[in-house]
Copies of this chain bind each other. A is one copy, B any other.
Amino acid sequence: MIAIDWGTSSFRAYRLTPEGAIADKRSAQLGILAVQDGKFAEALENQVGDWLDAGETRVVMSGMIGSRQGWKEAPYARCPAGVEEIAAGMIEVRWRSSRTAWIAPGLSCRDPQGVPDVMRGEETQILGALDHILESPAWICLPGTHSKWVRLERGKIIHFATHMTGEVFAVMKAHSILGRTMADAQPDPVAFQSGVLRGRSSGGLLHHLFGVRARVVSNDLTEEDSAAYLSGLLIGHELATIPRLTGVVYLLGTPQLEHLYSEALKCYGVDTLSLDPDSAAAGLSKLAQALPRS
Protein backbone atom coordinates (compact mmCIF):
# COMPACT_ATOMS: atom_id res chain seq x y z
CA MET A 1 0.00 0.00 0.00
CA ILE A 2 0.93 3.65 -0.30
CA ALA A 3 0.59 5.97 2.70
CA ILE A 4 0.68 9.73 2.09
CA ASP A 5 0.95 12.53 4.62
CA TRP A 6 -0.11 15.52 2.48
CA GLY A 7 -0.08 18.81 4.35
CA THR A 8 -0.24 22.51 3.63
CA SER A 9 3.40 22.83 2.70
CA SER A 10 4.81 19.32 2.24
CA PHE A 11 4.09 15.93 0.69
CA ARG A 12 5.46 12.72 2.23
CA ALA A 13 4.82 9.32 0.65
CA TYR A 14 5.64 5.88 2.07
CA ARG A 15 5.49 2.54 0.26
CA LEU A 16 4.61 -0.06 2.85
CA THR A 17 4.97 -3.83 2.90
CA PRO A 18 1.86 -5.90 3.74
CA GLU A 19 3.25 -6.07 7.30
CA GLY A 20 3.31 -2.26 7.47
CA ALA A 21 7.09 -1.79 7.27
CA ILE A 22 8.40 1.18 5.29
CA ALA A 23 9.88 -0.22 2.03
CA ASP A 24 10.51 3.15 0.42
CA LYS A 25 9.79 6.81 1.13
CA ARG A 26 9.78 10.10 -0.73
CA SER A 27 9.03 13.68 0.10
CA ALA A 28 8.57 16.88 -1.85
CA GLN A 29 7.82 20.56 -1.22
CA LEU A 30 4.46 19.92 -2.81
CA GLY A 31 1.98 20.94 -0.16
CA ILE A 32 -1.64 21.39 -1.18
CA LEU A 33 -1.07 25.13 -1.57
CA ALA A 34 1.49 24.36 -4.30
CA VAL A 35 -0.99 22.33 -6.38
CA GLN A 36 -2.61 24.51 -9.06
CA ASP A 37 -6.22 24.29 -10.28
CA GLY A 38 -7.14 21.30 -8.16
CA LYS A 39 -4.80 19.00 -10.11
CA PHE A 40 -4.22 16.68 -7.16
CA ALA A 41 -4.51 13.48 -9.20
CA GLU A 42 -1.81 14.71 -11.58
CA ALA A 43 0.39 15.75 -8.66
CA LEU A 44 -0.03 12.35 -7.04
CA GLU A 45 0.78 10.52 -10.29
CA ASN A 46 3.89 12.66 -10.71
CA GLN A 47 5.15 11.69 -7.26
CA VAL A 48 4.22 8.00 -6.97
CA GLY A 49 2.95 7.03 -10.43
CA ASP A 50 5.69 4.40 -10.71
CA TRP A 51 4.53 2.73 -7.48
CA LEU A 52 0.96 2.67 -8.83
CA ASP A 53 2.14 1.31 -12.16
CA ALA A 54 4.00 -1.39 -10.26
CA GLY A 55 0.68 -2.63 -8.92
CA GLU A 56 -0.07 -0.78 -5.67
CA THR A 57 -3.85 -0.37 -5.48
CA ARG A 58 -4.40 0.82 -1.95
CA VAL A 59 -3.62 4.53 -1.38
CA VAL A 60 -4.42 6.15 1.95
CA MET A 61 -3.83 9.84 2.68
CA SER A 62 -4.15 12.19 5.63
CA GLY A 63 -3.58 15.88 6.32
CA MET A 64 -4.81 19.06 4.67
CA ILE A 65 -5.47 17.10 1.48
CA GLY A 66 -8.84 16.35 3.13
CA SER A 67 -9.62 20.01 3.87
CA ARG A 68 -11.83 22.40 1.92
CA GLN A 69 -8.69 23.61 0.13
CA GLY A 70 -7.58 20.05 -0.64
CA TRP A 71 -8.66 17.32 -3.05
CA LYS A 72 -12.02 16.64 -1.43
CA GLU A 73 -13.31 17.68 1.98
CA ALA A 74 -13.48 14.85 4.51
CA PRO A 75 -15.63 16.14 7.39
CA TYR A 76 -13.97 16.02 10.82
CA ALA A 77 -14.47 12.95 12.97
CA ARG A 78 -15.30 13.82 16.57
CA CYS A 79 -13.59 13.04 19.84
CA PRO A 80 -13.42 10.59 21.46
CA ALA A 81 -11.95 8.72 18.50
CA GLY A 82 -9.55 5.84 17.87
CA VAL A 83 -8.65 3.90 14.73
CA GLU A 84 -12.19 2.62 14.21
CA GLU A 85 -13.97 5.99 14.52
CA ILE A 86 -11.44 7.79 12.30
CA ALA A 87 -11.48 5.02 9.66
CA ALA A 88 -15.28 5.29 9.58
CA GLY A 89 -14.96 8.88 8.41
CA MET A 90 -12.66 8.18 5.44
CA ILE A 91 -13.77 9.24 1.99
CA GLU A 92 -12.77 7.97 -1.44
CA VAL A 93 -11.47 9.89 -4.46
CA ARG A 94 -11.20 8.42 -7.97
CA TRP A 95 -9.24 9.40 -11.04
CA ARG A 96 -8.50 7.95 -14.48
CA SER A 97 -10.86 5.04 -14.97
CA SER A 98 -9.91 2.87 -12.07
CA ARG A 99 -7.52 4.49 -9.61
CA THR A 100 -8.79 5.32 -6.14
CA ALA A 101 -7.44 6.67 -2.88
CA TRP A 102 -8.85 7.12 0.62
CA ILE A 103 -8.57 10.36 2.57
CA ALA A 104 -8.69 10.32 6.37
CA PRO A 105 -10.93 12.87 8.09
CA GLY A 106 -9.47 15.36 10.50
CA LEU A 107 -10.58 15.34 14.10
CA SER A 108 -12.56 17.92 16.05
CA CYS A 109 -13.55 18.45 19.66
CA ARG A 110 -15.21 21.17 21.73
CA ASP A 111 -13.91 22.59 24.98
CA PRO A 112 -16.05 23.20 28.09
CA GLN A 113 -17.09 26.61 26.68
CA GLY A 114 -18.26 24.94 23.47
CA VAL A 115 -15.47 26.42 21.35
CA PRO A 116 -14.29 24.00 18.66
CA ASP A 117 -10.75 22.83 17.99
CA VAL A 118 -9.54 20.96 14.92
CA MET A 119 -6.62 18.92 13.60
CA ARG A 120 -5.84 17.33 10.22
CA GLY A 121 -2.98 14.90 9.97
CA GLU A 122 -1.82 14.85 13.58
CA GLU A 123 -4.52 12.31 14.49
CA THR A 124 -2.95 9.87 12.02
CA GLN A 125 0.53 10.39 13.45
CA ILE A 126 -0.88 9.67 16.89
CA LEU A 127 -2.63 6.49 15.75
CA GLY A 128 0.70 5.37 14.34
CA ALA A 129 2.45 6.00 17.65
CA LEU A 130 -0.18 4.30 19.84
CA ASP A 131 1.81 1.08 20.34
CA HIS A 132 4.66 3.05 21.95
CA ILE A 133 2.48 4.81 24.50
CA LEU A 134 2.35 2.76 27.63
CA GLU A 135 0.42 5.02 30.01
CA SER A 136 -3.30 5.61 30.02
CA PRO A 137 -4.32 8.37 30.32
CA ALA A 138 -1.36 10.01 28.59
CA TRP A 139 -0.39 13.41 27.20
CA ILE A 140 1.07 13.67 23.72
CA CYS A 141 2.44 17.04 22.66
CA LEU A 142 3.11 17.85 19.00
CA PRO A 143 5.08 21.12 19.17
CA GLY A 144 5.09 23.36 16.12
CA THR A 145 3.58 26.39 14.44
CA HIS A 146 0.27 25.30 15.94
CA SER A 147 1.25 23.05 18.77
CA LYS A 148 -1.20 20.35 19.87
CA TRP A 149 -1.77 18.79 23.29
CA VAL A 150 -3.60 15.52 22.92
CA ARG A 151 -5.14 13.53 25.75
CA LEU A 152 -5.16 9.82 25.12
CA GLU A 153 -7.16 7.25 27.05
CA ARG A 154 -7.31 3.52 26.25
CA GLY A 155 -6.24 4.00 22.63
CA LYS A 156 -8.60 6.87 21.91
CA ILE A 157 -8.04 10.60 21.59
CA ILE A 158 -10.50 11.96 24.11
CA HIS A 159 -9.65 15.66 23.84
CA PHE A 160 -7.04 18.03 22.46
CA ALA A 161 -6.11 21.73 22.45
CA THR A 162 -4.16 23.69 19.86
CA HIS A 163 -1.88 26.61 20.80
CA MET A 164 -0.56 29.16 18.29
CA THR A 165 2.79 29.23 20.09
CA GLY A 166 5.13 28.76 17.12
CA GLU A 167 3.29 31.19 14.88
CA VAL A 168 3.02 33.86 17.57
CA PHE A 169 6.77 33.57 18.15
CA ALA A 170 7.54 33.92 14.44
CA VAL A 171 5.12 36.80 13.90
CA MET A 172 6.20 38.76 16.98
CA LYS A 173 9.87 38.32 16.12
CA ALA A 174 9.43 39.35 12.49
CA HIS A 175 6.76 42.03 12.74
CA SER A 176 6.45 43.52 16.24
CA ILE A 177 8.56 46.00 18.16
CA LEU A 178 10.06 43.05 20.07
CA GLY A 179 11.95 41.89 16.98
CA ARG A 180 13.68 45.26 16.65
CA THR A 181 15.83 44.61 19.69
CA MET A 182 16.56 40.94 19.03
CA ALA A 183 20.11 40.15 18.05
CA ASP A 184 20.86 36.81 16.41
CA ALA A 185 22.66 34.57 18.83
CA GLN A 186 22.97 30.99 19.99
CA PRO A 187 19.83 30.51 22.14
CA ASP A 188 20.75 30.83 25.80
CA PRO A 189 19.25 28.08 28.00
CA VAL A 190 19.12 30.31 31.09
CA ALA A 191 17.21 33.06 29.26
CA PHE A 192 14.87 30.42 27.83
CA GLN A 193 14.22 28.94 31.26
CA SER A 194 13.56 32.34 32.81
CA GLY A 195 10.94 32.87 30.09
CA VAL A 196 9.32 29.53 30.91
CA LEU A 197 9.13 30.43 34.59
CA ARG A 198 7.71 33.86 33.77
CA GLY A 199 5.00 32.09 31.76
CA ARG A 200 3.87 30.34 34.93
CA SER A 201 3.46 33.56 36.86
CA SER A 202 0.56 35.99 36.97
CA GLY A 203 0.14 39.08 34.82
CA GLY A 204 -1.03 37.57 31.55
CA LEU A 205 0.72 36.97 28.24
CA LEU A 206 -0.01 40.42 26.78
CA HIS A 207 1.72 42.01 29.76
CA HIS A 208 4.56 39.49 29.72
CA LEU A 209 5.16 40.21 26.03
CA PHE A 210 5.67 43.89 26.77
CA GLY A 211 8.02 42.78 29.51
CA VAL A 212 10.43 41.46 26.85
CA ARG A 213 10.81 45.04 25.64
CA ALA A 214 10.79 46.58 29.11
CA ARG A 215 13.55 44.21 30.22
CA VAL A 216 15.71 45.10 27.22
CA VAL A 217 15.10 48.85 27.65
CA SER A 218 15.96 48.50 31.35
CA ASN A 219 19.19 46.58 30.62
CA ASP A 220 17.66 43.61 32.40
CA LEU A 221 17.89 41.35 29.31
CA THR A 222 20.38 41.49 26.46
CA GLU A 223 19.34 41.77 22.82
CA GLU A 224 21.18 38.46 22.26
CA ASP A 225 19.03 36.69 24.88
CA SER A 226 15.67 38.21 24.06
CA ALA A 227 14.59 35.71 21.37
CA ALA A 228 15.32 32.76 23.69
CA TYR A 229 13.44 34.54 26.50
CA LEU A 230 10.43 35.15 24.22
CA SER A 231 10.47 31.53 23.09
CA GLY A 232 10.53 30.32 26.70
CA LEU A 233 7.80 32.78 27.66
CA LEU A 234 5.42 31.52 24.97
CA ILE A 235 6.11 27.84 25.63
CA GLY A 236 5.77 28.55 29.35
CA HIS A 237 2.34 30.10 28.78
CA GLU A 238 1.32 27.07 26.75
CA LEU A 239 2.45 24.63 29.46
CA ALA A 240 0.76 26.65 32.21
CA THR A 241 -2.63 25.80 30.71
CA ILE A 242 -2.17 22.02 30.60
CA PRO A 243 -4.06 20.26 33.40
CA ARG A 244 -2.68 17.19 35.19
CA LEU A 245 0.85 17.78 33.95
CA THR A 246 2.74 15.06 35.80
CA GLY A 247 4.78 11.98 35.00
CA VAL A 248 5.73 11.68 31.35
CA VAL A 249 4.77 13.65 28.26
CA TYR A 250 5.26 12.07 24.81
CA LEU A 251 6.70 14.46 22.23
CA LEU A 252 6.22 14.14 18.49
CA GLY A 253 8.05 16.81 16.50
CA THR A 254 11.37 17.94 15.13
CA PRO A 255 14.46 17.33 17.29
CA GLN A 256 14.92 21.10 17.79
CA LEU A 257 11.39 21.63 19.09
CA GLU A 258 11.43 18.44 21.13
CA HIS A 259 14.58 19.72 22.83
CA LEU A 260 12.95 23.07 23.71
CA TYR A 261 9.78 21.45 25.05
CA SER A 262 11.77 18.91 26.96
CA GLU A 263 13.78 21.70 28.64
CA ALA A 264 10.58 23.63 29.39
CA LEU A 265 8.86 20.58 30.87
CA LYS A 266 11.81 20.03 33.19
CA CYS A 267 10.69 23.24 34.94
CA TYR A 268 7.53 21.30 35.79
CA GLY A 269 9.44 18.22 36.88
CA VAL A 270 7.98 16.34 33.94
CA ASP A 271 9.97 13.85 31.85
CA THR A 272 9.55 13.44 28.13
CA LEU A 273 9.73 10.54 25.69
CA SER A 274 10.21 11.01 21.99
CA LEU A 275 7.90 9.39 19.43
CA ASP A 276 8.81 8.58 15.81
CA PRO A 277 8.02 11.61 13.59
CA ASP A 278 7.41 9.19 10.67
CA SER A 279 4.52 7.62 12.57
CA ALA A 280 1.98 8.92 10.02
CA ALA A 281 2.89 5.90 7.85
CA ALA A 282 2.03 3.47 10.65
CA GLY A 283 -1.19 5.37 11.38
CA LEU A 284 -2.27 5.25 7.74
CA SER A 285 -1.46 1.52 7.66
CA LYS A 286 -3.79 0.99 10.64
CA LEU A 287 -6.52 3.03 8.97
CA ALA A 288 -6.10 1.03 5.76
CA GLN A 289 -6.55 -2.22 7.68
CA ALA A 290 -9.79 -0.90 9.13
CA LEU A 291 -11.18 -0.12 5.66
CA PRO A 292 -13.37 -2.60 3.76
CA ARG A 293 -11.21 -4.60 1.32
CA SER A 294 -11.94 -3.46 -2.25
B-contacting residues of A (Cβ < 8 Å)? 76, 108, 111-113, 115-118, 146, 161-165, 167-168, 171-172, 174-177, 198, 201-211, 214-215, 217-218, 220, 234, 237-238, 240-241
A146 touching B202 by the CB < 8 A rule? Answer: no
Can you tell how many copies of this chain the complex includes? 2
B210 touching A164 by the CB < 8 A rule? Answer: yes
Cα A172 to Cα B220 with chains together (Å)? 27
Given contacts A167-B176, A175-B174, whether A161 and B203 have CB atoms under 8 Å apart is yes
A162 touching B241 by the CB < 8 A rule? Answer: no
B168 touching A209 by the CB < 8 A rule? Answer: yes
A-B contact pairs, 19 of them (CB 8 A): A115-B215, A116-B220, A117-B210, A162-B210, A163-B204, A163-B207, A163-B210, A164-B206, A165-B206, A168-B172, A168-B176, A171-B171, A171-B175, A175-B175, A202-B241, A204-B240, A204-B241, A205-B205, A205-B237
B168 touching A214 by the CB < 8 A rule? Answer: no
Cα A253 to Cα B177 with chains together (Å)? 21
Cα A238 to Cα B207 with chains together (Å)? 8
